[in-house]
Amino acid sequence: MADLVTPGTPPSPTPASPARVTVARRTPGWSRRVRWARRAVQALVVGGVGWLVFGHATGGSSAESFCPFGGFETLWTLITTGRTVPHTHLANVVLAAAVIGLALTVRGAFCGWLCPLGSLQEWLHGVTGWLASRVPPLRRLRRRLEHLAAGRAWRRTDRVLRWGRWLVLAWAVIGAAVTGTMVFREADPWIALISVVEFELSLAFAVLVATTVLAVFVERPFCRYACPLGAVQAALGALSPVAVQRDAAGCLGCDLCNRACPMAIPVNTRTRVTDTSCIGCLDCVAACPSAPALGVTLALPVPLRSPR
């Protein structure tokens, strides 16, 4: 049976006073199932893409035709000329349509559950964090970085850098429409990753290396600061009726949701998490010890709600 804990205090194994208001404690089994379900989906997708990359290296079709962002890059040329820009196919357009549908229903969940580049960054950060917890000099370095990340200067820098996604989106889509080529392809770490077997020194490879190094210190750096597909979903996700919802009455103020969020969203200051950075990973919900405090709910999208 679920334990009872008192809002405003850390969860305690001792029974709560009958005079206090209590909330039902989330069962660890539920949290574990959510985390494992996401990991299983991510592993399946990464495995599938790995298979395609291996197939391409041995003469099969390129995994590039399975990138939804190619569909957005080719859209203008397809509408105006009936042709797709080089390196894209109708498969890209179909996948782009699927991503639009997902964003309109479950916000950024594509990034949190399906994007292989996002999963790889997340795993790299997790593995290096695990190593850091076991190697004392790395542990000290990590603590220092965490201290820095909690400071006002880094938070301000982080906020400014997050505009990068919108700039990259504008450059990629307008550039492709004007030139009829995939301008973003030259800097796309995804392209460098799927062609890693045919190694070539390029801007895309440099971005991949930078993403890999940054992912050791920052969770999902490419998703946060540069991914144009993330920006598309952020824009469309504003129309989604689904979001993580926090009930302040059940909140214990324990901060576990904030610490679990890979996108550094201050979940415990929100009533409804409609932040454009949310990737729908549900790590905050899985980390929350209070069952009524955090959950996923349906509500009218923000732009359709009457102003308060």
Instruction: Tell me: does residue 253 bind ligand SF4 (CB under 6 A).
Output: yes
Residues in 60-119 that interact with ligand SF4 by CB under 6 A: 112
Of 207 and 294, the one with the shorter C-beta distance to ligand SF4 is 294
What are the structure tokens assigned to 181, written together?
A: 């080529």
Give min distance, CB of 22 to ligand SF4, in A. Answer: 13
Applying the rule CB under 6 A, the residues between 145 and 204 that interact with ligand SF4 are none
**Under rule CB under 6 A, residue 273 binds ligand SF4:** yes
Tell me the sheet residues that pair with 293.
Answer: none
Backbone angles phi, psi at 257, to 5 degrees: -65, -40
Exposure class string for 265-298: b at 16+ Cβ within 10 A, else e: bebbebeebbbbbbbbbbbbbbbbbbbbbbeeee
193, 257, 276, 291: residue in contact with ligand SF4 (rule CB under 6 A): 257
Nearest-CA neighbor of 230 among 66, 102, 92? 102
Site string for ligand SF4, 109-128 (x = CB under 6 A): ---x----------------
305 CB contacts (<8 Å, ≥6 apart)?
A: 299
Q: The dihedral of CA 164, 91, 208, 130: what is its sign? A: positive
Q: How far is the CB of 297 from ligand SF4 (least distance, A)?
A: 13
- By CB under 6 A, tell whether 244 contacts ligand SF4: yes
- d(C-alpha 184, C-alpha 111), whole Å: 19
Contact pattern for ligand SF4 over residues 286 through 305, marking x by CB under 6 A: -xx-x--xx-----------
User: Is residue 284 near ligand SF4 by the rule CB under 6 A?
Assistant: yes
**Residue 183 C-beta: closest distance to ligand SF4, Å:** 29
Give the shortest CB-247-to-ligand SF4 separation in angstroms.
Answer: 8
Q: Does 12 engage in binding with ligand SF4 (CB under 6 A)?
A: no
**Cβ of residue 251: shortest distance to ligand SF4, in angstroms?**
3
CA separation, residue 21 to residues 121, 202, 259 (Å): 41, 60, 26
Query: Between residues 78 and 239, which has the closer beta carbon with respect to ligand SF4?
Result: 239
For the beta carbon of residue 13, count every other beta carbon within 10 angstroms.
6
Q: Which of 274, 270, 300, 301 is nearest to 288 (CA)?
A: 270
Residue found under tokens 């370095």: 141
Residue ranges in contact with ligand SF4 by CB under 6 A: 112, 244, 246, 251-257, 260-263, 265, 267-268, 273, 278-284, 287-288, 290, 293-294
